[in-house]
Amino acid sequence: MYYTLGFKKNIENCIKLISSKESGKYASLIDLKLALGRYMDEIQPYTKLSVDIKELPVLIDNPEHKAILAQGFSIRSQLNDLSQASMIESLVFDDQEKYAQRLYSAINTIESQNVELATLVKIVFRYLLFGKSSKAHGGSTSNALGVLWLNPTDKWTPQDYCEFLVHELTHQLLFIDERVYGHYSCYPELLKKENYAFSTILKRSRPLDKVIHSYFVGKNILHYRTENGLSTDCKVTLHPLTADLVQGIQDTKNSLKPCHMNLMTDRVNLELAYA
């Protein structure tokens, strides 16, 4: 969402949510991150941990803490179309420190490319949760804002780590935007298959919320590649090649009918129109 809304509006969203709970002045990135963390703890007390927050997301290695964070990913939801509630199969993750360092290197890379984007990554992500899955590379949930679940392998390239961060940041910023403006006019209607649409990345019929997320992820990954001059696709393994991404974005847009527009608030319809 960085490339959709820009830095200022995304920060404004964070400030608005914080302002709904407390007032204050934040003179540094860490002050703002701590305030957003307090907001997250208030709305999601089940993911609250007694862990020192730093500018970079903190690697959670204590098994009890990992189990607490993983709860946020195992809540059943009728909007789960791919058995998402059982995605994390094991919290034992060999070499998680090694992979965390690769993620931190990616944040440094992003910082050298676009300091606004890196600042949003640092503010939004509090915790790194490594967990094994045979189904997904990682993910985010609106049940556990600020938690980044990863399941990397040695095949991930430096570009993959950067794109993974852009991908998950887009989800998190969409969750935050949804809490400020509301994104769907009738949540129960999202469950109905007749209201499914075509997703950008997986390229299949999915619930509208997943489709909207995939659309903005696709747009933001594409923009990130364009901004940083990715001239060849050989360095990417997590996301589709650029031409496929462009096609996926178009296919999603073509699949959206008036019934979908009616299920989305003006906020999402406008973001779609101008994205």
Name the site residues for another protein (rule: CB under 8 A).
11, 15-20, 22-29, 31-32, 35, 43, 73, 75, 77-80, 82, 84-85, 87, 111-112, 115-116, 118-119, 133-143, 149, 164, 167-168, 171, 175, 178-182, 187-188, 190-191, 201-202, 209-210, 213-214, 238
Q: Buried b / exposed e across 169-191, counting CB within 10 Å, b at 16+?
A: bbbbbbbbbbbbeebbeeeeebe
Helix H or strand E segment including 73: none
> Between 59 and 149, whose beta carbon lies closer to another protein?
149
Contact (CB, 8 A) for 131 and 93: yes
> Between 50 and 131, whose beta carbon lies closer to another protein?
131
> Between 178 and 271, whose beta carbon lies closer to another protein?
178
Cβ of residue 174: shortest distance to another protein, in angstroms? 8
> Between 61 and 189, whose beta carbon lies closer to another protein?
189
Q: How far apart are CA 241 and CA 134, in angstroms?
A: 22
* Cα torsion 217, 138, 55, 42: sign: positive
Cβ of residue 116: shortest distance to another protein, in angstroms? 6
Token pair 């058995």 is found at 83
> Between 208 and 230, whose beta carbon lies closer to another protein?
208
Cβ of residue 120: shortest distance to another protein, in angstroms? 10
Cβ of residue 133: shortest distance to another protein, in angstroms? 8
Query: Which amino acid is it at 3?
Result: Y
> Between 62 and 270, whose beta carbon lies closer to another protein?
270
Contact (CB, 8 A) for 39 and 18: yes
Contact (CB, 8 A) for 22 and 38: yes
Helix H or strand E segment including 198: strand 197-198
Token pair 């950067």 is found at 162
> Between 24 and 63, whose beta carbon lies closer to another protein?
24
Rounded to 5 degrees, φ, ψ at 268 are -70, -40
Q: How far apart are CA 234 and CA 101, in angstroms?
A: 23
The closest of 83, 165, 98 to 125, measured between CA atoms, is: 165
Cβ of residue 184: shortest distance to another protein, in angstroms? 9
Cβ of residue 33: shortest distance to another protein, in angstroms? 9
Helix H or strand E segment including 59: strand 58-59
Cβ of residue 180: shortest distance to another protein, in angstroms? 6
